[in-house]
Amino acid sequence: MAELAPILVVDDDAVSRRVLTETLSASGLATHTVGSGREALAWLEDNAPSLVLLDLVMPAPDGFEVLKQIREQAGIADTPVLVLTALDSDDEIHAVFASGADDYVHKPFRPAELVARIRGQLRMREYVERLSRRERDSQTVLELTQALASTLNIRHILFTVVRRVAEVASVDRCSIVLVSEDETMGHVVASSDDEQMRDLTVELSKYPEIREVLRTGNTLVIQDVSRHPLLEAVRQAEPGLGFASLALVPITHEQRPMGVIFLRSRGAAAFADHEISLVHTVANATAIALRNARILKLLRDESMQSAFARVEAERRVRLFQRYADIFESAADGMVVIDRSGRVLFANPRARAILGFDESELMGRGFRDLFAEDPSRADRLLEGFTRGEFPQGLDVELGTRSGPPITASVSFSSVLHEDDSVVFSFRDVTEERSTAIELKQTKEFLERVIESSVDGIVTADMKGTLLLFNRAASRIFGFAPDEIVGKRNVETLYPPGVAREIMRKIRDPDVSGPGRLEDCRVDMISATGELIPVTLSAALIMENGKAVGSVGVFTDIRDRLRMEARLNRAQDELRLREKTAFVAELAGAAAHELNQPLTSVIGYAELLRRNLDPGSSQGKAAEVIMSEAERMAEIVRKIGKITKYETKSYVGAAKILDLEKATEDPSEDRVGR
**CATH number for position 467:** 3.30.450.20
> Which region among 287-291, 535-539, 590-594 has the lowest average model confidence (pLDDT)?
287-291
Q: Are residues 415 and 488 in the same domain?
A: no
**CATH number for position 623:** 1.10.287
Buried b (16+ CB within 10 A) or exposed e, 236-257: eeeeeeebbbbbbbbbbeeeeb
Domain boundary among 371, 397, 431: 431
- Average pLDDT, whole number, for the chain? 79
Confidence grade of residue 317 (pLDDT, cut at 50, 70, 90): low
Q: Are residues 220 and 198 in the same domain?
A: yes
Q: Are residues 287 and 169 in the same domain?
A: yes
Q: Among the residues of 174-272, which ranges form H helices? A: 208-216, 232-237
Cα 35 to its chain centre, rounded Å, is: 39
User: According to the model, what pLDDT value does residue 1 have?
Assistant: 42
Domain boundary among 512, 540, 555: 555
Phi, psi (rounded to 5 degrees) for 250: -70, 145
Report pLDDT digits (tens) over 381-407. Answer: 888 888 888 888 888 888 878 888 888
Tell me whether residue 144 is in a domain.
no
Q: Are residues 181 and 98 in the same domain?
A: no
Report pLDDT digits (tens) over 156-212. Answer: 777 877 887 888 778 888 888 888 878 888 888 888 888 877 778 888 888 888 888
User: According to the model, what pLDDT value does residue 532 have?
Assistant: 92
Tell me whether residue 311 is in a domain.
no
Tell me whether residue 306 is in a domain.
no
Regarding pTM above 0.75, the answer is no
Confidence grade of residue 322 (pLDDT, cut at 50, 70, 90): low
User: According to the model, what pLDDT value does residue 419 have?
Assistant: 67
Find the domain containing 542 and state its range. 452-555
Task: Report the pLDDT averaged over residues 39-51.
Answer: 87
Phi, psi (rounded to 5 degrees) for 473: -60, -40
Q: Are residues 276 and 364 in the same domain?
A: no
Question: How many residues can be counted in the chain?
Answer: 672
Phi, psi (rounded to 5 degrees) for 490: -65, -15
Buried b (16+ CB within 10 A) or exposed e, 132-153: eeeeebeebbeebbebbbbebe
User: According to the model, what pLDDT value does residue 458 have?
Assistant: 92
User: According to the model, what pLDDT value does residue 658 have?
Assistant: 43
**CATH number for position 128:** 3.40.50.2300
User: According to the model, what pLDDT value does residue 306 have?
Assistant: 41
User: According to the model, what pLDDT value does residue 327 have?
Assistant: 66
User: According to the model, what pLDDT value does residue 656 have?
Assistant: 44
User: According to the model, what pLDDT value does residue 145 have?
Assistant: 61
Task: Report the pLDDT averaged over residues 11-35.
Answer: 86
Q: Are residues 171 and 221 in the same domain?
A: yes
Task: Report the pLDDT averaged over residues 332-357.
Answer: 82
Q: Are residues 624 and 534 in the same domain?
A: no
- Percent of the chain having pLDDT more than 90? 1
Distance between CA atoms of residues 305 and 504, nearest Å: 87
Q: Are residues 545 and 520 in the same domain?
A: yes
Q: Are residues 410 and 544 in the same domain?
A: no
The closest of 514, 512, 513, 558 to 534, measured between CA atoms, is 558
Domain boundary among 132, 161, 179: 132
Report pLDDT digits (tens) over 628-666. Answer: 888 888 877 776 666 544 445 444 444 444 444 445 444
User: According to the model, what pLDDT value does residue 279 have?
Assistant: 78
The closest of 265, 260, 263, 264 to 283, measured between CA atoms, is 260
Residue 366 is classified by DSSP as: T
Residue 279 is which amino acid? V
Q: Is residue 282 over pLDDT 80?
A: no
Tell me whether residue 313 is in a domain.
no
Q: Are residues 292 and 155 in the same domain?
A: yes
Sign, CA dihedral 106-107-113-119, equals positive
Q: Are residues 230 and 273 in the same domain?
A: yes
Q: Is residue 230 over pLDDT 70?
A: yes
Tell me whether residue 318 is in a domain.
no
Q: Between 534 and 594, where is the model more confident?
A: 534
Report pLDDT digits (tens) over 72-110. Answer: 887 788 888 888 877 677 777 788 888 888 888 887 778
Task: Report the pLDDT averaged over residues 583-611.
Answer: 78
Report pLDDT digits (tens) over 113-152. Answer: 888 888 888 888 877 777 766 666 566 666 656 655 555 5
Q: Is residue 269 over pLDDT 60?
A: yes
Tell me whether residue 477 is in a domain.
yes
Residue 357 is classified by DSSP as: -
Question: How many domains does one find in the chain?
Answer: 5
Tell me whether residue 447 is in a domain.
no
> Which region among 191-195, 332-336, 370-374 has the lowest average model confidence (pLDDT)?
370-374
Report pLDDT digits (tens) over 551-564. Answer: 998 988 888 888 88
Tell me whether residue 609 is in a domain.
yes
Task: Report the pLDDT averaged over residues 423-446.
Answer: 86
Q: Are residues 119 and 178 in the same domain?
A: no
Helical (H) or strand (E) element with 313:
helix 309-322
Report pLDDT digits (tens) over 538-595. Answer: 888 888 888 888 999 898 888 888 888 888 888 888 888 887 777 777 777 777 777 7
User: According to the model, what pLDDT value does residue 303 have?
Assistant: 40
Distance between CA atoms of residues 187 and 203, nearest Å: 9
